[in-house]
Each structure stands twice: as structure tokens, then as C-alpha cells.
Amino acid sequence: MKSRRITIFCILAAASIIAKVLLAGLGCNFDTDSNFMIADLVLDGKTVYAETSRYNYGPAWAHAAAAIKWIQLHVFDGHSITGFHRLLALLLSACDVLIALVLWRRFAFGAAVAFLVNPVSLLVSGYHSQFDNIAVLTGFLAVLLLEAAVADMVFLAGCALLGFSLSIKHVLIFLPLWLALRPDFPLKRKLSALIIPFFVFFAGFLPYISNDAAMSGIARNVFGYSSSHLDGFFPHLLDLAVPTAVIEKIFYWVPVFSGVKALWLAAMVGTGFVFRKLPLSGAFLFYLISLCVFSTALSPQYLAIPMTAWAVHRRSIAMTWFVAVSAVAILASQVNIGVVVEWLRPANAWLFQGGLGVRHAVAGLAVFIALEIAGKPHKC
């Protein structure tokens, strides 16, 4: 039975990688072009934060993109953005396979298989080639270290790995707050979980501290980046009760951030409190769901972030709605294969004009998490 499962996993993993690399060859979007440009800047010895506004993350990913470009140049003797895109998709699809392996080890074989074949990761890791999954994988491994840690040094290593995840892409920016709320952590571990990840994240910017242009770019394009602010599911839900313009005016005198972002922080901390007694890896899945539900901004690629959670909780009708509508919404977007594959263009235009978007998909996540909060959380 075990050898049969290994065979099935290997076949699906290989098929997943091949499919995503093939999708990457169909074309490129703005994000792929940005990664291509960032890689060139790093290889040319330039500081990305000083040179462009199109890089909004910690420094780790810029160097990873440069490594991909270096391999393209020196191993494959290639220069095209299409070749770069395929190598990028190869890295991201391999990362998806590793996530599936972690799901198999921690949860179940079925969760691993579901993750490998889900259409959302296929479209996002393949054509769009966004790298949220690398941050999720690194954070997932950090969570497993923290969950199993008996020795303090192992726990500290988990905290540092979580910080590295933030330096790749700060998808898990609120997770240290969730860790600090856990009743099974003594005070020393709570403080470590709260301080070390942020220390590692901020330390990544220290090499640029003497470069005024870079520091200005970091302040503006990393910490000041707002993406499609107020276009998420949560702001639209709030708007049904209180117009977001009124919320912003209420918080006008708060000098830290906008009113909706303050409520986003409160919602994330609140759900962290609700799920604080779950096993840590189970709580991590709810973190990924909560992040999409309460985010003030949503783009099609963000729908891949909770797919790890979907793979585990896929039997829920609300989660089935989420993955099905997510796949359609991504195809209906202007950043995926729906606009480059000729026979998909009429359907893409029809879906796009119909207004089907990521918020409709995230509604399924919102229903799922509301039912979990109202009832008894899953024992994961």
C-alpha cells in the first residue's frame, strides 16, 4: 500500500511540474516581467529598492530571482523572458510538491494528492508564477519545528525560519501574534515567537541602511505598499454595515494606519485568539484562510495562499465553492491564461464582464471560518 501511494504521488508530482512549466511557456504578465527586471538589477550589482518601485518584499526573493536568471544564463545559455518564466515555474512547482509532501507527513495522503491536482495552484504557480507558496512552505516548516520543539534551541530555530519566510514575502506577518496568544507556550517562548521573526525580517534591510535612495524605496514600496487597497472581501463586507469612507473618517485621528487596516489587524488577532488552542499546524491552516478573508486587498494570485488549508478541509461544501470559483475567477482575470490562450478569450471576456471576481471565491472561505467559529473547530 505504501509503495503504491509513493508511485501515485510521484506520477502526480511529475505531471503537476510538467503542466505548470508548460503553462509558463504560454506567455508572461506584469509580475513575471517584474521578476525578470529584478533579476537583472541584482546581477548588475544594483540595489533593487533604489532602482524600481516594482519590488515590494524583503530582499530574499530578489536574490532568488537573480539565481534563476544566473542559471538561465550560465547553464542553459538562455536570455529570453520565456525561458526565465519556465525556470521560475519549475522552482514554484517543485515548492508545491514539497508542500504536498509536508501535507502527507502531517495530515493525510489525500490532502497531498488534492493539493497536487488543485487548479488554483496550477494557474498561479504555472502561468502567473507568483511566489507566495515559497513563503507558505517555509512558514509551514517553521510551524512544524515550533510544534515539535522540546529543546529551546529547536524552538528558536523555528522562530528564525519564520522570520526568513517573512523576508521572502510577508504572507505570515500576523502569525507571530497568533503564536504569542497560544496558552501552551510559556512566556519565554511567546516573547521569542513575537520578537525573533520580526528581528530576522527587519535585519534583512540592514545592508541598505546607508543607502538613502534604497531606504526611501523600502519605506515607500515595502512598508507603504497598499496594492488594491479596499478591494478585498472584508472591506466590501464592512461596507454593507458601515461605509468604508465613514470608517476611514472615524480612524482619521489615529496616526498609525487606516481604519479598515486597523479592523483587519483586530480581525486577525481575534481569529488567532479563537483558534489558539488548536494544534499549531491546524491553527496555521486557519491563519491562511483568515488572511484571505480579512485582507484589505485581494488579487487573483492570493487565492493560492489558502490552498494548503483547502487540501485538508476540502470536504466542506464552502471550501468546494472556494476552489471552484477561485479557478473560474483566475481564468476571468486579466493576469492569467484567459487573456493569452485564444480559444479561452471569449469565455474570459464574458466572465470578466460578468464581474465574477476573487471576492466571490473568498466568500466560501468566510462561510467556512464562520461555521468553524460558531461550532467546534476541527481537531487537526
Q: Contact 338/344 with Cβ under 8 angstroms?
A: yes
Tens-place pLDDT, residues 94-114 = 999 999 999 999 999 999 999
44 and 66 share one domain: yes
189 and 87 share one domain: no
136 and 123 share one domain: no
What residues make up the domain containing 341? 226-380
3-state class of 27 per DSSP?
coil
- pLDDT grade for 256, boundaries at 50, 70 and 90: low
163 and 217 share one domain: yes
Q: How far is CA 122 from CA 38, 51, 61, 111, 140, in A?
A: 24, 32, 21, 16, 20
C-alpha cell at 280: 499549531
89 and 141 share one domain: no
- What gap in Å lies between CA 65 and CA 39, rounded to an integer? 5
Q: Please compute the mean of the pLDDT values over residues 313-324 and round it to a whole number.
A: 95
User: Of 166, 193, 225, at which residue does a domain stop?
Assistant: 225
31 and 169 share one domain: no
Q: How far is CA 17 from CA 124, 130, 138, 338, in A?
A: 13, 15, 19, 20
- pLDDT grade for 338, boundaries at 50, 70 and 90: confident
User: Of 199, 225, 251, at which residue does a domain stop?
Assistant: 225
Q: Which residue has the higher pLDDT, 67 or 246?
A: 67
85 and 113 share one domain: yes
Q: Contact 196/163 with Cβ under 8 angstroms?
A: yes
- In this prediction, residue 379 carries a pLDDT of 46
Tell me the whole-structure pTM to 2 decimals. 0.93
100 and 176 share one domain: no
Q: How far is CA 257 from CA 112, 249, 251, 350, in A?
A: 39, 12, 8, 38
363 and 287 share one domain: yes
User: Of 99, 128, 157, at which residue does a domain stop?
Assistant: 128
Structural domain count, the chain? 3
11 and 122 share one domain: yes
184 and 96 share one domain: no
372 and 250 share one domain: yes
